[in-house]
A = this chain, B = another copy of it.
């Protein structure tokens, strides 16, 4: 039995055929061209889906169902994207029905953060857990919360916005309109801002040379500088890890999951990120006196998490 997993991104539509053991057996990718009408985007999704099935050496009849992880807000039970700000015409869009028409199979949907969390839960960092949380540190801070194998959706399907919890009242402005959100301190965007600020204050820091070499300041600049012993870079990383840890510790105190995994580009730093975060969480968590092991780890599946999770959304919403 095979499933299709569809990762609908602002730039690319990535589709893969996934077998029952979560192996990807065929892939395809097309440009999203997000400015186009929803109908045309849907055509492209269908096209990529068929290409992925072909790449797997299979036929559409071999595919049991498909799942989509999409940006924006979603009502999984109705197969509708209520709103996605980076797509035109994604207002109460019956995306599942539109795609079922094109592919002839049942389609399931959730937002991309939830799909990625579910992928890690099933086949990555979260294997063997019951309560599992994935926090993605990217342009923003996204989250997916799985409790007893079920996705936390909230009464209006808008729950799990872990990035939009204030960590520092009246602090850094956030894209959501509030001030001081976790996202405004712990996203890759925030790290880059923190790096640039430190560079302005430390004209002799190695970060200048590293940024020049890679053409720009990015989420690795401070980490790379730290690895080469740069003082200002080390300080940026230390502060950043503290921000991440404070937010993670809040989430741990609320949910007390078996495991919390950190994904997104910055999670490629692996232990350089998770070791200091675990140390700070162990120090601060409400249950510190009974903690026996680290409960924060890096994501394992990278970009495939969203595809694999999407493929298996039928397990959540069938």
Chain B residues with CB under 8 Å of A246's CB are 166, 169
Q: How far is the CB of A199 from chain B (nearest CB, A)?
A: 23
Contact between chains at B164 and A167 (CB < 8 Å): no
Interface size grouping (class) on chain A: 35 or more
Q: How many copies does the complex hold?
A: 2
Chain B residues with CB under 8 Å of A290's CB are 156
Contact between chains at A166 and B256 (CB < 8 Å): no
Contact between chains at A131 and B158 (CB < 8 Å): no
Q: Scan residues 76-125 of chain A and give those whose CB is less than 8 A from a CB of chain B.
A: none
A284 close to chain B: CB less than 8 A? yes
Contact between chains at A166 and B167 (CB < 8 Å): yes
A161-B254, A169-B168 known; A131+B155 contact, CB < 8 A: yes
A176 close to chain B: CB less than 8 A? yes
Residue interface bits A160-200, CB-to-B below 8 A is 1, else 0? 11101111110100001110000000000000000000000
A208 close to chain B: CB less than 8 A? no
Q: Say which residue of B161, B250, B284, B287 sits within 8 Å of A156 (CB atoms).
A: B287
Q: How far is the CB of A176 from chain B (nearest CB, A)?
A: 6
A249 close to chain B: CB less than 8 A? yes
Q: Say which residue of B155, B160, B254 sits within 8 Å of A160 (CB atoms).
A: B254
Contact between chains at A250 and B155 (CB < 8 Å): no
| Alpha-carbon gap, A162 to B155, bound state (A) | 19
A23 close to chain B: CB less than 8 A? no
Chain B residues with CB under 8 Å of A131's CB are 154-155
